[in-house]
Structure 1
């Protein structure tokens, strides 16, 4: 994979890329606590299929710059994706793929600017309206303790390597995440980067942190949009339980919040970081959908 940088939406984005420069853009967006390297298994497959795969480091994750306006809401992430499409020369044949926070950005970007994307893929986080009913169950609240911790002044002290290792153990049981955690620590190497990663969660629950400049994109992030979506969720996901997202394996609760023609699937023997745990299976499902 190649390393590069590009200016978009007022930020300098670092990114990884693979594939022909003149291929259709495949924009791959990572989540927390993760990095652009989360796509290292998928990107060569996309490149072999003719795509120019680009995985940016999300706003606030080094080497990408910190946003001067302090905006970390979903609307800002969606605006970043649309701006990256423009800056990278994407066309109407581009595809967008997002995991975790990258999935939130993907829903928003696809709904806000549908003409920019031919196909859409999200992993591990369904549309927000699909999970609200079960989010406040006791079991899910236990899984989501970190969201509430991140609303407190203790968050910056808590978010160290040990904490991140614990999240990966809980979210993807049995997976050796040593390489991934090394990349995460590089992305969160300064207090500003740590505050940025926490800022995503603070903007989620604190309306006072919403920047009005992204109001249109913010609204789009909670609408189904029109581009069909492939949604994949790990059967052993320890962050968002599969039993909450698709009770009994029934995808209907997710599909009702996605555009017509969408598909929702459970990936067996996979946790939250399914693209790393089951790369052959996940890559096949994604490439089949894109083709």
Structure 2
């Protein structure tokens, strides 16, 4: 009985602490913080009624980027990048933890998501790897962020890793779910084993006109299927999915998604402006900044074995394996663990 009482006390304190942090950061609820009953529970996962209250906009490179900026303005910056087909709400429970710890938490919508828009109608709706890297660097420059911790999952992990690899002077440290995800068109020419190819079924679907039309006509249903396949043990509800799915209504989302997967297979051209960046990334540069990589035990999406990429991180390095049915959207499924990795990697600097 004493153990049960202590556990309830710990749960109450955890819930209260996270609710206070979220309120101070101004992150959740409609126009104000959620009431205590709607705060995160012991798992750290808040209800779908929790959402970011203020989306700012900044012109950066070829985009007008929508982003969240939470926590103290003079705190150490940490920039978080989401993946496909998710959005900034993957970090809804990570942000208040980091903000309460004194970090300035910055979370941009990628090109093709949320309120991010292209500045010019004739800019190619290009989803190649280096375009996201260039967007991210221009975004940091526009906000006058000289150095930051950078972190992400899925496409966001690739963005974070490319930044840390090519501009180590700009980044204190890196947290990357699924590790080293930098790729190249040349490397993608090599076929995988049949079972591995099966996991990439949607990449081949997008390579066809039928696939592009199918994703355009069924974007939300398609994305929900990806969520379920990538995180088979995550019991997200309709409202949680709908909160993020609204970001997929961006007018450029389908074009960017299709371009991304076609470019990987060499079926869509890149832009000349990114040629130099792609050449640097195709050399698979080492990451020298302090890094923590993470993986959930129930990741249903394609991902490399941690042993295959550990040698690419030549600075201070740790890998964390999360048990308990954690899938592909690790920051949203295990927000405390993801936030803790950022707090810990900051101490390795």
Question: With structure 1 as the length reference, what TM-score do the two structures score?
Answer: 0.88
CA distance in 2 between partners of 1:84 and 1:135 (Å) = 35
Instruction: Say which of 226, 238, 241 aligns to 2:288.
Output: 226
Match of residue 275 from structure 1: 331
Residue segments in structure 2 that go unaligned for 5+ positions in a row: 1-26, 28-53
Q: Does residue 174 in structure 1 map to residue 233 in structure 2?
A: yes
Instruction: Say which of 299, 310, 325 aligns to 1:237.
Output: 299
Aligned residues: 282
Query: CA RMSD, aligned part only?
Result: 2.3
Match of residue 55 from structure 1: 107
Match of residue 224 from structure 2: 165
SS of 1:82's equivalent? helix
**Residue 21 of structure 1, CA deviation:** 1.3
> What are the superposed Cα offsets for residues 201-255 of structure 1, whole Å, 9 maximum, x if unpaired?
12222265211211232234332232232111111100025xxx33xxxx43221
> What are the superposed Cα offsets for residues 142-179 of structure 1, whole Å, 9 maximum, x if unpaired?
22111111111122332222221111111111323334
Distance 1:209 1:125, change over 3 A: farther
Q: Does residue 151 in structure 1 map to residue 211 in structure 2?
A: no
> What are the superposed Cα offsets for residues 244-287 of structure 1, whole Å, 9 maximum, x if unpaired?
x33xxxx4322112233222222112110111112222222232
| TM alignment of 1:39-118, pairs within 5 A | 39-66=91-118, 68-92=123-147, 94-118=148-172
Q: Does residue 38 in structure 1 map to residue 90 in structure 2?
A: yes
Distance 1:226 1:37, change over 3 A: same
CA distance in 1 between partners of 2:292 and 2:79 (Å) = 15
**Which sits farther off after the overlay, 178-187 or 79-88?**
178-187
SS of 2:55's equivalent? strand
**Residue 56 of structure 1, CA deviation:** 0.5
Q: Does residue 189 in structure 1 map to residue 249 in structure 2?
A: yes
Question: With structure 2 as the length reference, what TM-score do the two structures score?
Answer: 0.74
Equivalent pair of 1:78/1:105 in contact (CA under 8 Å) = yes
Q: Which has the larger radius of gyration?
A: 2
Match of residue 75 from structure 2: 23
| TM alignment of 1:104-143, pairs within 5 A | 104-124=158-178, 126-128=180-182, 136-143=192-199
**Which sits farther off after the overlay, 214-223 or 48-57?**
214-223
Distance 1:17 1:285, change over 3 A: same
CA distance in 2 between partners of 1:279 and 1:90 (Å) = 25
Equivalent pair of 1:74/1:108 in contact (CA under 8 Å) = no
Instruction: Say which of 198, 201, 205 aligns to 2:258.
Output: 198
CA distance in 2 between partners of 1:229 and 1:211 (Å) = 30
Q: Does residue 266 in structure 1 map to residue 326 in structure 2?
A: no
**Which sits farther off after the overlay, 222-231 or 264-273?**
222-231
Equivalent pair of 1:24/1:91 in contact (CA under 8 Å) = no
